Amino acid sequence: MAAFLLITTLMTIAGLIVTMLAGYMAAPGHVAQHIFFALATVVLGLFSQSMTMFFFIGTGKEIKDKVKGTAEEPAVIQQTKSFKSSVFPSAMWAMTAIMVTFIMGGGVGSGKTPHWLHLAMSIATVLLFARAYWMQIRAMTENSELMGRYLRE
């Protein structure tokens, strides 16, 4: 499951880049492909980040239930909290950025938002998803070690 979530985040980054290229190459009045790519990328991006957050909530609960009442419980609880405190903010910023960028695209289409602002937000979104990916891969590696230690059966 962790690998699938990381792949969906990478696919979102790729989708953002493809969407940016489609927008850049679109002739005025012919942006349907750019909008289609943007919609698909937004759905994938929101899915990847929200499911990653649920992944850490679920695995954290499962691990905490397994160590309940043992001497290792406080350390394990602290580790699972550490994962969430590093992953959740970066995931939320990435989701916020992708939604704002998408909404700004509508503003560009209506002439209310300048192109450069939409482009700047697009670049920021790619960077925020890359940061989220980096935070997630580190936390998922450590979480996997905890799961291997406590959830082996």
What pLDDT is attached to residue 153? 59
Query: Which token pair is 99?
Result: 């939604």
Q: What residue type is assigned to position 87 of the chain?
A: V
Instruction: Give CA–CA dist 13/126, Å, rounded.
Output: 6
Three state DSSP letters for 90-150: HHHHHHHHHHHHHHHHHHHHHCCCCHHHHHHHHHHHHHHHHHHHHHHHHHHHHHHHHHHHH
CB-based contacts of 45, cutoff 8 Å, min separation 6: 12, 15, 16, 94, 95, 98, 129
Instruction: Give CA–CA dist 30/33, Å, rounded.
Output: 8
What pLDDT is attached to residue 151? 81
What pLDDT is attached to residue 72? 87
The answer to whether 49 and 13 are in contact (CB under 8 A) is no
Instruction: Give CA–CA dist 35/116, Å, rounded.
Output: 17
What pLDDT is attached to residue 29? 75
- For the segment 52-82, what is each residue's pLDDT rounded down to a tens digit? 999 999 999 999 998 888 898 899 999 999 9
What pLDDT is attached to residue 28? 79
pLDDT less than 70: residues of the chain: 153
What pTM does this model have? 0.91
Classify residue 41 as exposed, middle or buried by CB count within 10 Å of its CB (0-12, 13-18, 19+): buried
